[in-house]
Structure 1
Amino acid sequence: MPFRVKLLRHLRLLFIAISLFGSYEARAQFTLGGYSNSHYAGIHGVPNNPAMAAGTHYKWDVNIAGINAAAGNTYIRFPRSILLHPPDSLRDLKRNRDYFPDTAGTGRQFAWGNVDVMMPSVLYSLDELSAVAFTWRVRSMVNGGNATTDVANFFALDFPNPRFNNQRFDMEWVNASFHWWNEFGFTYARVLKDDGNTVFKAGATLKLLSGVAAGYAQVEGASFAMHSTTNGEINDGTLKVGYSDGLAKWESPTLSNYKVFGNMGLGMDLGITYEWREVIDGLTGYDDSQWNPEADDYRLRLGVSLTDLGSITYKKSPDSKDLDLRTENINTSDLRQRRGESVQAYYRRISTYFNEIPSDEKFRMNTPAALNLMADYNIDGRFYVNAAGRLALNSGKYDPSKTYVMSYFQVTPRYEARHIGGYLPLSVNRNGQFDAGLGLRLGPLVIGSTTMLSNLFQKNKNRLDGFVALRIIPIKRGEGKVGCPGTNF
């Protein structure tokens, strides 16, 4: 089977699962647990905190190519065989054989999936105190809805299912969104203070954004009941929908839709770090064997950053409409997507059953803004413990046209040497899911997953992720000397 067909099958399955089985949140940054906050991260530390560019071990550092991808949910689990060989459509899956829904869940259901590709990017240290970086990333993300388990069961279990006749369901708000964009980041970072015991760094990344395609849908305040498989009523609720011309004019193959400069926007990352050192040395020392050898001499490092502040404005496709969902009599079977019917054709059809609500001709898709916190403790110069947390800043219900990250907390013990590193990320996300992973840095190659170890002990999977990157990491020898370090104190 051609690779393109396999890829489209995987993407289609992911989209359908996210659309039907819950709300979505994702780790949007180009990160691998523990590694991205380490002093050997170089260019790979910049997306998480731009201050990390200053005072590194590297005179310069080049990313050749890298990808970070994740997918998962809380509602259904899949056996490994289905993940490796997905069918053509969701209709071909058999419940309790090919997938296992959590029909008895008591909370809201969630799902996630994102792809972040770092294209050729470079970090350059102007001196031991300041650095600049250029990052080129191609990113895509899907967000979804906040559905309760009873609502997920209603739509997922053989809809329309007579089992749910004459029961009332409520959807306070359930949303879904998709965003594919390109970004060029220009970073400047500098050591603001270095008195030997304490080191403050700050950095900023200005981003030139260009959107490829985006879309969103959000149900608000809906209350409905099904009296039979051909008769139902919706007492209240609105549906807000918007998607860009890029989605309306989607071409095949998928990559042909990618344009470096399309819908333009601006973004920004801001970050600071603080380092405490037991021995007075600072960052301005040097020797003849390596660049900036004191980069990891801190005992404790703290970091705070705001990432992905920005948005892109899109023109709505004329077919995307906001709808008043109230109706006393609707054929419930008509609300089911028909075999072979595209998502756009499906929406055009069901929009004829409801009254249109006036809406703007454009929409602004926010990028996944987040607050990132980090603490890194140096045990003995080889072993470290990193604690990191991420908090989504725009995951609320008030603005449907957004993408947003998952809030989580992570602790990563790690081993570091010049050409090798090992990472053991242990994390808990906002859904209460615990994951254990593994990462390795072997010279220019970095590879890992925050769910690898967890998945080894699970027969059926509901989440997975992976990170791989190839870089050039030269150590500048015998240059960059700016005078005796003692003259800086």
Structure 2
Amino acid sequence: MKLVATGVFFVLICTFQGLGQNYQAINGSPFAGAMGAANNPAAILSTPYPWDITVFSTQLKNTTNAITFSDLSYISHKDTVGYKWKTGFLKRYAAFNYNVHLLNVRLNIGRNQAISFGANVRGYVSARTSNVNYNDTLQDMNQFFSINDGTTYAARVVGSSWLELYGTYSRTIWDDAIGRLNAGITLHAQRALAGAFAQLTNSTVKRNVVDTVTFYTLQAGSARYGYSSNFDSWHSNRSTNDNLKDIFKQSRAGAAVDLGVEYLVKPQGVSIDGHEDDYYDYDWKIGVSLMDLGANMFQYGSESREVSNPKTATSDFDLNNKFNYVSSFREFNDSLSTVVNSVARLHGRFIIWNPARVVINVDRMLPEHFALNTELTLNLGGNGPRLFTKEITLFALTPRWETRSLGGYLPMTVTTDGQVWVGGAAKLGPLLFGVHNWATVFSKTKTQNGGFYLSVVIRPGKKGFSAREDKQYTCPKL
């Protein structure tokens, strides 16, 4: 159907034209501070600073096997950026996520408790198709169907973005000579900013031959697609600021919760350096967290539809005529209603679930400020009728060298679709910056797979750092 050739691939393109909680380099680090709550709410109690403030941070990550950009990298590009669709018969996918942290604060309440709070803006988009063939030289639907003879088409697109206010509380559950167990919880109060989805199921066409002419007619299939109603309030004759205000006014409330624990295995050596506090030192740190258990609710937009039972007399020639000059969602719906027998407007509300996942993180401290971090992320969202967003990262291994004010990191990531990225990051005082995949910096054809992150964090200086020491347990200086 034309819905495959236009709707699905259009969304795949748009995925990269928009603006996770994934500052991979510092996951598990004792210096992560307030940003550690995005990986495990218990982590905010494992940092030696009495307080820290993330003034601003942003992260984005994108991946696809459907398209390749050319003449584009993070450090150079031409005036015209080229792109090319990947040819061949394959399951195509694209995913994109971003977040912005706005004034996140973390405070220790003694050594056994800590809190963190702040505001974040987050968004996730993903698109997947069944096995389908495609190339840049196709001129019409007849050519598309001919290279996909016998194919059953299916596709799924989900996107959600929201504003959240969060509060995290962590405390020590037990502490002995061997180790310490911390537990934490984060509560999110959310406002759903934008949501959309599309699902195409079991779509097929029939090959027909009359004399020497081959043509295709619609055979079976169904589709559902919807978007949040606040998009209906966007009018081109109004200012962007007024449109954004209306979109926010019509957004709906949502909620989510994070749960986590961390167990620190203490060094068993005897410290003789009395002027240093070794309370936060560890040999191993093992964290397990259950993140983003929650959802956002949206009101269906006026052009949201459910269609099924295509008219079997509709040919590829008809599809070309009906859809080639579509310029709006309303015109698309009008054309689609002429090629199916069942059309229904979607009413009420729909829910898109947050990227719920289990995160297992193991951090190993090594001599001379070196450490090795490993992390496994297991998405919990399924592929059924419910709409889920998901994280891109499956596994990460991050060697790091890190002090209070300096750091160098080499995260190596395996994505959920089997891509392997080698990234890098650096910390210079309050500034942390990094890339998920070095190829996006040095290659002009890899920008579609990677991303970057940047943060500005204020921490106490060395004097404030030393103030964490509980003086009643300090050995007298000789």
Fold match (TM-score > 0.5): yes
CA offsets 1:32-75 (integer angstroms, 9 cap, x no match) = 22313211110111111111011311111101111101223112
- Separation in structure 2 between the aligned mates of residue 423 and residue 411 of structure 1, nearest angstrom: 10
1:366: which partner in 2?
A: 353
1:385 matches 2:372: yes
Report which stretch shifted further, 220-229 or 108-117. Answer: 220-229
* Contact in 1 for aligned 2:88/2:135 (Cα 8 Å): no
- Separation in structure 2 between the aligned mates of residue 142 and residue 156 of structure 1, nearest angstrom: 28
226, 242, 250: which is aligned to 1:242?
A: 226
- Given residue 169 of structure 2, which amino acid in structure 1 is its aligned partner? Y
Please say which structure displays the higher CA radius of gyration: 2
- Separation in structure 1 between the aligned mates of residue 203 and residue 15 of structure 2, nearest angstrom: 16
1:309: which partner in 2?
A: 293
CA offsets 1:467-487 (integer angstroms, 9 cap, x no match) = 00111111425645656459x
- Separation in structure 2 between the aligned mates of residue 276 and residue 72 of structure 1, nearest angstrom: 36
Change (3 A) 1:280 1:206: farther
CA offsets 1:453-474 (integer angstroms, 9 cap, x no match) = 5652564543130100111111
Report which stretch shifted further, 364-373 or 415-424. Answer: 364-373
1:412: which partner in 2?
A: 398
- Given residue 324 of structure 1, which amino acid in structure 2 is its aligned partner? S
1:170: which partner in 2?
A: 152
1:64 matches 2:55: yes
Change (3 A) 1:16 1:442: farther
1:109: which partner in 2?
A: 92
- Separation in structure 2 between the aligned mates of residue 109 and residue 132 of structure 1, nearest angstrom: 42
154, 164, 181: which is aligned to 1:183?
A: 164
- Given residue 57 of structure 2, which amino acid in structure 1 is its aligned partner? G
1:445 matches 2:431: yes
Which stretches in structure 2 are left out of the alignment for 5+ residues? 1-6
Alpha-carbon RMSD across the aligned residues, in angstroms, is 3.4
1:8: which partner in 2?
A: none
1:368 aligned counterpart, secondary structure: coil
273, 279, 286: which is aligned to 1:294?
A: 279
Instruction: Report 1:13-32 matches (<5 A).
Output: 19-20=11-12, 28-29=20-21, 31-32=22-23
Q: Shift of the alpha carbon at 1:77?
A: 1.1
1:34 aligned counterpart, secondary structure: helix
How many residue pairs align between the two structures? 450
- Separation in structure 2 between the aligned mates of residue 334 and residue 280 of structure 1, nearest angstrom: 78
192, 195, 205: which is aligned to 2:186?
A: 205
- Separation in structure 2 between the aligned mates of residue 234 and residue 346 of structure 1, nearest angstrom: 17
2:31 aligned counterpart, secondary structure: coil
- Separation in structure 2 between the aligned mates of residue 198 and residue 21 of structure 1, nearest angstrom: 50
- Given residue 366 of structure 1, which amino acid in structure 2 is its aligned partner? W
1:12: which partner in 2?
A: none
Instruction: Report 1:9-408 matches (<5 A).
Output: 19-20=11-12, 28-29=20-21, 31-81=22-72, 84=77, 98-104=82-88, 107-150=90-133, 153=134, 157-162=138-143, 164-165=145-146, 167-171=149-153, 173-225=154-206, 232-251=216-235, 256-257=243-244, 259=248, 262-279=251-268, 293-295=278-280, 297-330=281-314, 331-334=318-321, 336=323, 338=325, 341-343=327-329, 345-354=331-340, 355-357=342-344, 359-399=346-386, 401-408=387-394
Change (3 A) 1:57 1:481: closer
- Separation in structure 2 between the aligned mates of residue 227 and residue 332 of structure 1, nearest angstrom: 16
- Separation in structure 1 between the aligned mates of residue 95 and residue 137 of structure 2, nearest angstrom: 17
Normalising by structure 2, we get a TM-score of 0.84
Change (3 A) 1:324 1:261: closer
Change (3 A) 1:225 1:49: farther
* Contact in 2 for aligned 1:23/1:112 (Cα 8 Å): yes
1:168 aligned counterpart, secondary structure: coil
- Separation in structure 2 between the aligned mates of residue 315 and residue 286 of structure 1, nearest angstrom: 62
Change (3 A) 1:201 1:351: farther
